Amino acid sequence: MNRNHENTTPLRALSAALALALALGAAPAGAAPAAPGDDAIRAAKHAVETYRTDVVDTLAKLVGFNTVAARDIPCERNPVHGAFKAYLKEEAARLGLDFSDQGCVVIVGLGDGAEKVGLIAHGDVQPVDASKWKASPFVLDRASEPGKLLARGAEDDKGPIATALYAMKALKDLQLPLSKRIELYVYMAEESDWGPLEAFVKDHPLPEVNVTLDAEYPAVTAEKGYGTIALTVPALSAAVDDGSPWILAFKGGFFDSQVPEDAQALVVNATPALEAQIRQRGARQAGMRYGFEWQDRNLLVTAKGLSAHSSKPEEGVNAIAMLADALAVRPWPQTTAGALVGLLNDLVGTGHYGEKFGSIAYRDAFMGPMTVAPTVIREQADGLQLSINIRRPQGKTGQQLSNEINAALAQWQGAHVQLARTDVSIGEPWVQTDAPQLPVLLKVFSHFTGIKDPKPVAIGGGTNSRLFPRAVSFGPAMPHTVYTGHSEHEFITVKQLMLNLEMYTAVMAELAR
């Protein structure tokens, strides 16, 4: 750990965070934000009382489209995305809203004011392992867990789309005097490719103020930078078969932004005593389950953890990291898989913050610590590739962090195995310093939740807020709750869906009046 950084940065970062909060209009400590206006409260009540069933039914239709990105098919030509957009067009017409298809972006609008308020969401979803779901992940499961609506996209991000549509409908019903046009932007490649949206925002006249419906409450004004460390252990020769145990295979993970809940290792020349050692070490890991299967003298070890969004590795149980740790009961021969297990234990470990990875660990007083999560192991022609997802706060330059990563890797390679390839990609953290809508968001949140004196927060994930003017995120997830998007148990509760509907309606009424 870089002691000098730890000793000097927090005070500066804390001062910056306080200055940011004041600049963005956060209420002074101990003061409750003013309540929303009567029209906003009336519209919110109308939305929930009138459309409680409809919003769930619309969500059921939205999640029925498998809008996972298709390899080699651009979003504007993806037939499933086209069907999804066609349904949104039908819904907009039924609700009395206007609709525009811009290829990878569709716009649902209300009103015709010269000024605009933007709402930003996405219609694509992350990949899904259907075998892990009680029902189809593309059918809204309303029965398996009472009070929960389970489906891929229920929280990220089709639930917010459904609530935004009915919030706009509620305002139209009451014919509130709105001086600004409301536009809901639904992007179809947020989870896979931001290029088409970057091109869109350059040419399209955007709203002056924007609210992203793809993160957390009370309001998100900072996001960590997304990064990847991809390390390829070369294809090494098998261990000399002298009867000693060695690791033939190691695999795990599903996609790059998911904490993996599955991993496997195949140990050659295993013994019952070795199995007992692995069992004993694995039993000390909270949240892990292990299976052991003998194939002659080979032992297949299967690890089961808990998937989560990789921006919040502490909310999951990382099967790749934990299985490597469970295998740390002896030195392993430097086979491809054995070297990978050693690299994981030496540089990553079972923590979340990079404490073992040289001097890369650090934190910012407002944005929190950098997180480090191994996510996927892929078989490549030249070896095994490990992808490590990092989320970096402000406080270090990208060059400094890159240098520290490379220094740690060089030291490890000098003592162990020369890696076939190392690819390091480091994104920039983002901070919003110009958000005039922030006091409205905070007072709406405070009024409908009863939480006093809410403050802006930072997140590890990255949203399209970065691309829109004066954008901050507002929901759909409550603070201090597990975010289920990107997991294999994604859901939104009916209670949260209705609360979101109230708050989105009130925010639109306040910002567009």
Q: Mark whether 451 and 355 lie in a shared domain.
A: no
Residues 6+ apart with CB under 8 A from 158: 59, 62, 63, 123, 125, 151
Q: What is the mean pLDDT of residues 98-122?
A: 97
Which residue among 392, 411, 426 closes a domain? 426
Q: Tell me, yes or no, whether 316 lies in a domain.
A: yes
CA pair distance 477, 23, nearest whole angstrom = 25
Range of the domain at 272: 225-426
85: enclosing H helix or E strand:
helix 79-94
Q: Are 120 and 213 in contact (CB under 8 A)?
A: yes
Q: Is the pLDDT of residue 27 over 70?
A: no
Q: Mark whether 196 and 233 lie in a shared domain.
A: no
Q: Mark whether 367 and 244 lie in a shared domain.
A: yes
Token look-up 């409301």 returns: 182
Q: Mark whether 219 and 234 lie in a shared domain.
A: no
- pLDDT 10s digits, 269-308: 999 999 999 999 999 999 999 999 999 999 999 999 999 9
Q: Helical H runs in 224-301?
A: 272-283
Q: Tell me, yes or no, whether 130 lies in a domain.
A: yes
Q: Tell me, yes or no, whether 69 lies in a domain.
A: yes
Q: Mark whether 333 and 355 lie in a shared domain.
A: yes
Instruction: Tell me what the pLDDT averaged over the chain comes to.
Output: 92
- pLDDT 10s digits, 169-183: 999 999 999 999 999
Backbone angles phi, psi at 218, to 5 degrees: -70, -40
CA pair distance 6, 355, nearest whole angstrom = 13
- pLDDT 10s digits, 129-141: 999 999 999 999 9
Backbone angles phi, psi at 317, to 5 degrees: -130, 110
- pLDDT 10s digits, 338-366: 999 999 999 999 999 999 999 999 999 99
Q: Tell me, yes or no, whether 24 lies in a domain.
A: no
Q: Are 77 and 193 in contact (CB under 8 A)?
A: no
Helix (H/G/I), strand (E/B), else coil: 435: coil
Q: Mark whether 68 and 167 lie in a shared domain.
A: yes
Read off the CATH number of the domain in which 72 is found: 3.40.630.10
Strand bridging mode 209-212 / 471-473: parallel
Q: Mark whether 395 and 462 lie in a shared domain.
A: no
Residue 240 pLDDT level (bands cut at 50, 70, 90):
low
Q: Mark whether 212 and 233 lie in a shared domain.
A: no
Residue 16 pLDDT level (bands cut at 50, 70, 90):
very low
Please state the domain count of the chain: 2
Angle of CA points 146, 148, 149, to nearest 5°: 125
The tokens for 291 are: 């299976």
CA pair distance 342, 201, nearest whole angstrom = 45
Residues comprising the chain, all counted? 513
Q: Are 372 and 19 in contact (CB under 8 A)?
A: no
Q: Are 123 and 187 in contact (CB under 8 A)?
A: yes
Q: Mark whether 489 and 392 lie in a shared domain.
A: no
DSSP category for residue 314? G
Q: Tell me, yes or no, whether 10 lies in a domain.
A: no
Q: Tell me, yes or no, whether 18 lies in a domain.
A: no
Helix (H/G/I), strand (E/B), else coil: 26: coil
How confident is the model at residue 3, as a pLDDT?
28
Residue type at 159 in one-letter notation: G
Q: Mark whether 194 and 287 lie in a shared domain.
A: no
CA nearest neighbour of 123 among 96, 150, 149, 103: 103
Residue type at 160 in one-letter notation: P
Q: Is the pLDDT of residue 24 over 60?
A: no
Q: Tell me, yes or no, whether 52 lies in a domain.
A: yes
Residue type at 153 in one-letter notation: G
Which residue among 383, 408, 426 closes a domain? 426
Q: Mark whether 175 and 196 lie in a shared domain.
A: yes
- Which residues on adjacent β-strands are paired with residue 421? 232
CA pair distance 298, 171, nearest whole angstrom = 65
Q: Mark whether 292 and 372 lie in a shared domain.
A: yes
